[in-house]
Amino acid sequence: MIIHIDGKACVCEKGEYLLHVAAQNGIFIPRFCHHPGLPGQACCRVCLVEVETEAGGERQVVSSCVYPVEREMQVYTNSDKIKKQRRMVLSLLSARAPDSGRTAALLKSAGGSLPERFTRLAGEKCILCGLCAKACESVGTAAISVAGRGTDKKISTPFALPPDACIGCASCAAVCPTEVIAYVEDGGTRTIWGRSFQLKYCETCGDMLGTEEEVAHAANKAGGEPARLCPACRKKTIAGALGKPFARG
């Protein structure tokens, strides 16, 4: 079917999410909490757009990251209303996370500025998109989670202690849109969430494989021995053993 986004005709499948359709057609909709591998957060509310399902009918404000296309429609990603609401959402996020550079930058590019009157949470960088907890859950460790509710909600480890379940894989840090989750790699160890992990390297090429725990966790999940080689070297080894020189780096 065809929908119109900001006047541009876009071909899409029924049930596809608006944000995705827009991206496929080169239309960028700002967002924070959407990650293609971890869909459905729908909590930052930066990706708002207006949809009009009947010509001249009432427009509805929806979050494009989870809005499924069910029928033909007009979509407005930059109407006056959307611009205004997006500025307010970004102002609220900037007040919450005044130390997040990305939030401030997005607010600026949306033409807004943080009202003086807003209370700032000093030193805060996290916008509570929850992607880190979702990533951790999908890895299968659930060492960190979103705890509490309302204005006291926060990302936390159990009892706010270095989490036992953590395997140091840093998936949380990888998905964080505001680059809040800090980890340090230094002399063969990675330190994250208050714990230090031994790093493991490929026995052939020396590329980093991850932390000991992470490699063991992956082996455990797949059922086998913990890896000692990186995927590329492993392929080469297998290929070598079979005597068929088709392996490519």
Name the residues that contact another protein, by CB under 8 A: 40, 42-46, 48, 61-63, 66-68, 81, 84-85, 88-89, 92-93, 95-96, 115, 117-119, 127-128, 130, 146, 148-153
Our CB check for ligand FES shows the closer of 86 and 125 to be 86
Closest Cα partner for 95 from 109, 123, 114? 114
Backbone angles phi and psi of 158, in degrees to 5: -55, 130
What gap in Å lies between CA 157 and CA 39, rounded to an integer? 22
Our CB check for ligand FES shows the closer of 24 and 220 to be 24
User: In the bound complex, what is the minimum distance in angstroms from residue 90's beta carbon to another protein?
Assistant: 9
User: In the bound complex, what is the minimum distance in angstroms from residue 64's beta carbon to ligand FES?
Assistant: 6
Our CB check for ligand FES shows the closer of 78 and 191 to be 78
User: In the bound complex, what is the minimum distance in angstroms from residue 190's beta carbon to another protein?
Assistant: 30
Which does residue 88 bind out of ligand FES, another protein, none, counting CB within 5 to 8 angstroms by kind?
another protein
User: In the bound complex, what is the minimum distance in angstroms from residue 218's beta carbon to another protein?
Assistant: 27
Our CB check for ligand FES shows the closer of 155 and 167 to be 155
Our CB check for ligand FES shows the closer of 63 and 91 to be 63
User: In the bound complex, what is the minimum distance in angstroms from residue 137's beta carbon to ligand FES?
Assistant: 18
Residues that bind ligand FES (CB under 6 A): 31-34, 41-47, 63, 65
Which does residue 152 bind out of ligand FES, another protein, none, counting CB within 5 to 8 angstroms by kind?
another protein
What is the end-to-end Cα distance of the chain in Å, rounded?
A: 41
User: Are the C-beta atoms of 127 and 154 separated by less than 8 Å?
Assistant: no
Which does residue 47 bind out of another protein, ligand FES, none, counting CB within 5 to 8 angstroms by kind?
ligand FES
Our CB check for another protein shows the closer of 48 and 199 to be 48
User: In the bound complex, what is the minimum distance in angstroms from residue 184's beta carbon to another protein?
Assistant: 30
- List b or e across 39-77, with b for residues whose CB sees 16 or more CB atoms inside 10 angstroms: eebbbbbbbbbbbbeeeeeebeebbbbbbebeeebbbbb
